[in-house]
Amino acid sequence: MSAMPTHAMVFAAGLGTRMRPLTNDRPKALVDVDGRCLVDHMLDRLAEAGVGTAVVNSFHFADKLVAHLAPRSTGAPKLIFSREDELAEPLETEGGLVYALHHFPDGPLLTCNADALWLDDTAIKRMAGAFDPERMDGLLLLARLDEALGFDGPGDFFMDEAGRLTRRGEAPSAPYAYAGVQITTKAKFDGKSATKRSLARTWFDEWSPKGRLYGLVLDGPWLHVGDPQARLDAEAKLQALRASTQA
């Protein structure tokens, strides 16, 4: 079993345009779902998995994000802020990771979107156990499309029996969607420039064509909180599931 990565990148610098008006006065990461802000849901998952340090990037209402997270300064994971509000525009996911790369030690690291919720308590630990850098450039957490709430896309990936991923391409649909967490290594980004670029470009253009992009499937629902209605749907789902377990 591979060791749990010691560090994670939490992407919280997006403008949250689809979440307006809730993001008119706050970053998307501070939108409340079921009594906790999105970023706290993700940081709690990392703490449960034993991740020691989280690098959180910020841009939109960055000062509010930093102030909100100040009470977590003595808890786990330890927080480091990567302030992209010092730049002209946010760098997207790969650019943001490269911009913050000096905060990461060599070896495996996690990257996490702040707008994804799930109920599978074992997901991150299972990813750490499955990640093999000799075979994989990246291991993505996936959701089955029929268990993806708040996601209206046609799916992102096909997966073979070994867990190797290929992109949907021109197919009308694919059975799996990216659920917002990956394990990769710092070495895959050493020497890259911190320019505006999505991690998806690297997955589709570089890793998947070489057969080095893999996936691991969530057990249970994935709640993609992309807009105000998806937020309401996610809250209703969480409350219903909680009620069913208490019945």
Residue type, 197: R
Q: Is residue 2 included in any domain, yes or no?
A: no
Residue 194 lies in a domain: yes
- Sequence-distant (6+) residues with CB within 8 A of 52 are 6, 7, 76, 77, 78
Does residue 1 register a pLDDT over 60? no
* pLDDT, tens only, 107-164: 999 999 998 898 888 999 999 999 999 999 999 999 999 998 888 888 889 999 999 9
Number of structural domains in the chain: 1
For 175-187, how does the pLDDT look when each residue is reduced to its tens digit (9 = 90+)?
Answer: 999 999 999 999 9
pLDDT at position 247 is: 58
Residue 213 counted as domain residue: yes
Q: Which residue has the higher pLDDT, 195 or 242?
A: 195
The predicted pLDDT at position 243 comes to 77
What pLDDT is attached to residue 189? Answer: 96
CATH number at residue 18: 3.90.550.10
- Residue 2's pLDDT band, with cuts at 50, 70 and 90, is low
Residues 6 or more apart in contact with residue 29 via CB below 8 angstroms: 10, 12, 37, 38, 39, 56, 65, 114, 115
Domain interval for residue 84: 7-246
Considering the entire predicted model, what is its pTM? 0.93
C-alpha–C-alpha distance, residues 185 and 220, integer Å: 27
Q: Do the domain assignments include residue 1?
A: no
User: What single DSSP character describes residue 199?
Assistant: H
Between CA 52 and CA 220 the distance in angstroms is: 26
Indicate whether 80 belongs to any domain. Answer: yes
